[in-house]
A and B are shown apart, each in its own frame.
Chain A
Amino acid sequence: MAFAVSPRSTVIYPTCKYSSPPSKPYSRCGFSISCCSIDLQSTSLASNISRRCELVDLHEELVSYRKAWDLQKAIVKEKKVLIETNQEFPDTVIVLQHHPVFTLGTGSSVQYLNFNVQNSPYDVIRTERGGEVTYHGPGQLVMYPILNLRNHKMDLHWYLRALEEVVIRVLSSAFTIKASRLQKHTGVWVEDQKLAAIGIRVSNWITYHGLALNVAMDLSPFQRIIPCGIRDRGVGSIRSILEKDQAFNNSTRNEMCNADDSLLVDFAHRSLIQEFSEVFQLNLEPRLFYSSSSTDKE
């Protein structure tokens, strides 16, 4: 089995290099980690980034949960074969959005569903990830890193903290939203609202499943469940936090508030790729093999 093999001491991540969001938030840029407005002097990590990671970027599509799940399992199986034959291989990360769906972890309790499963408004799928029930839907960015932790840190606690770090940096650097961790409640929080949920599975040190960041979405499905089994806290999105703080005298944030959902998702996506690349020290290369046709829309 896979678990932490180092003391669960706090890993100090490099501090965020941005003091304000990139100057041209809506300009498009490619998958290269040298995205717009980076201060190269402060990106001491960039010169050390050398390990390859395939990026399967489906973030502009709504992908069937089952198809994405099958894709992950196929990639994990592929990597396990390569491990057995002592071959090197890059990591993979999938980024996408899902059609509306509720998912449960291996040990999830149906008591956290506020409806009868037979009369569910959306599909309810039990998976092999950790964590309790959650909702995925349009306007939420989902990231499934399929990493060989032997090349990173064979420590599940570190990995969970690293995923949280990615999102905390996205919220800070791209949206000037101060987010944090909550002890005993894995995920990323802004005050008492969870903006990103995390649940993973590890098989022979290969990770899959991952994180879901609420960007600009209909949050009402979360009211049909007790998200992650936590009763006394809520769920938010980047949009809801920005609108709540609209009185905040920041022209960039006000501009973001007025942007439509797809622009906000696009902007969040670029930051997510950037921060993921930095936290995990990976060079992302688009993998075009997995096209949208292999992840049929529902």
Chain B
Amino acid sequence: MALRMWASSTANALGVSCKTKAQFLPAFSLSRCFSSVLDGLRYANSHEWVKHDGPVAIIGITDHAQDHLGEVVFVDLPEVGGLVSKGGSFGAVESVKASSDVNSPISGEVVEVNSKLTEVPGLINSSPYEDGWMIKIKPSDPSELQTLMGPTEYTKFCEEEDTAH
């Protein structure tokens, strides 16, 4: 319930409506039941989200991703001015002795990175769509956004992935 309320307030802040999975699931998957997927964002199958906000696109990892990762203890971010390409790694998140690549859903130039994550990497867990954003880029090809998944498709993708494994 707390996650739904958090997701709702986050959604209000972002000006989007919030969808949560309203289905009965076994107790062990309670966390998946409350992973939020927001309208207005596009999603990569490697579980990053992107929000096109005027001239920049904001990128982070999804609530589903942070939930499965567990506590994030370190975030590795690129330099401002660097280039990222669609599907290419731009950094890493570390949890529990495992460091994982984070990939950019679209190509562009990094214009800002979230330096708060250096001090408080846990923002990715507590606020994956808001305070836990990772980089802002100037997209080089905004049409790449159309190749990404919308919220409904991403929700279904997560369900299928979880079921398969």
Confirm or deny: A160 has a beta carbon within 8 angstroms of a beta carbon on chain B.
yes
Question: Contacts A4-B68, A4-B69, A153-B165: A160 and B98 contacting too (C-beta < 8 A)?
Answer: yes
Whether A107 lies near B98 (C-beta < 8 A) is no
A131 and B97 in contact, given A1-B48, A3-B68, A106-B74 (Cβ under 8 angstroms): yes
Counting CB contacts under 8 A, is B65 at the interface? yes
Contact B96 A1 (CB under 8 A): no
The answer, among B32, B48, B97, B103, for a CB contact under 8 Å with A186, is: B97
Q: Return the contact of A202 from the options B29, B65, B99 (Cβ within 8 A).
A: B99
- Mask, A23-64, CB within 8 Å of B = 1, is 000000000000000000000000000000000000000000
A264 in contact (CB, < 8 A):
no
Contact indicator A198/B93 (Cβ below 8 Å)? no
In the assembly, what is the distance between CA of A231 and CA of B75, in Å? 23
B102 contacts which chain A residues (CB < 8 A)? 1
Interface: A114 (CB within 8 A): no
Interface: A265 (CB within 8 A): no
Which one of A3, A7, A105, A154 lies within 8 Å of B69 (CB-CB)? Answer: A3
Contact partner of A199 (CB less than 8 A), chosen from B69, B92, B95, B97, is B97
A155 in contact (CB, < 8 A)? yes
* Alpha-carbon gap, A7 to B161, bound state (A): 12
Question: Contact at A1–B46, with CB atoms within 8 Å?
Answer: yes
B48 nearest CB neighbor, chain A only? A1
Determine which residue in B65, B98, B121 has the highest number of CB atoms from chain A within 10 A of its CB, and name it: B98
Whether the pair B99, A105 counts as a contact (CB closer than 8 A) is yes
Closest A residue to B93 by beta carbon equals A1
We find that the number of chain B residues with CB closer than 8 angstroms to chain A is: 33
Check B165 against A155 for contact (C-beta < 8 Å). Answer: yes
Asked if B70 contacts A198 (CB within 8 A), the reply is no
Residue in A4, A128, A154, A204 whose CB lies within 8 Å of B99: A128
Interfacial chain B residues near A154, Cβ < 8 Å: 161, 165
Chain B residues lying within 8 Å of A15, measured Cβ to Cβ, are none
Q: How close is B81's CB to chain A, nearest CB, in angstroms? A: 21
> With A1-B48, A5-B68, A130-B95 given, is the CB distance from A107 to B101 under 8 Å?
no
Q: Does B61 contact A (CB under 8 A)?
A: yes
- Give A7 to B102 CA distance when docked, in angstroms: 21
| Residues in chain B near residue A8, CB distance under 8 A | 68, 70
Check if A273 is an interface residue, CB within 8 A of chain B: no
How far is it, in angstroms, between the C-alpha of A241 and the C-alpha of B92 when the chains are bound?
37
Cα A9 to Cα B31 with chains together (Å) = 12
Asked whether B97 lies within 8 Å of A160 as measured between CB atoms, the reply is yes
Known: A6-B162, A107-B74, A128-B92. A1 touches B61 (CB 8 A): yes
- Does A217 lie at the interface of the complex (its beta carbon under 8 Å from any beta carbon of B)? no
A200 at the interface (CB under 8 A from B): yes
- Say yes or no: A5 contacts B98, CB within 8 Å: no
Q: Are A130 and B97 in contact (CB under 8 A)?
A: yes
Interface flags, A144-173, vs B, CB<8A=1, else 0:
000000000111110110000000000000
- B100 contacts the other chain (Cβ, under 8 Å)? yes
The CA of A6 and the CA of B162, in the complex, are separated in Å by: 6
Can you identify 15 A-B contacts, CB atoms within 8 angstroms?
A1-B47, A1-B61, A1-B103, A2-B101, A3-B65, A3-B69, A3-B95, A6-B165, A106-B99, A107-B99, A130-B97, A153-B165, A156-B95, A186-B97, A202-B99
Given contacts A5-B165, A105-B99, A186-B96, 16 further A-B contacts (CB under 8 A): A1-B46, A1-B47, A1-B48, A1-B93, A3-B65, A4-B69, A7-B29, A105-B97, A107-B74, A130-B94, A160-B98, A199-B97, A199-B98, A200-B98, A200-B99, A204-B103
Binding site for A on B (CB under 8 A): 28-29, 31-32, 46-48, 61, 65, 68-70, 73-76, 89, 92-103, 121, 161-162, 165
A residues in contact (CB < 8 Å) with B: 1-9, 105-107, 128-131, 153-157, 159-160, 186, 198-204
By Cβ-Cβ distance, the 7 closest A-B pairs, closest first, are A107-B74, A130-B99, A4-B68, A186-B97, A131-B97, A130-B97, A156-B98
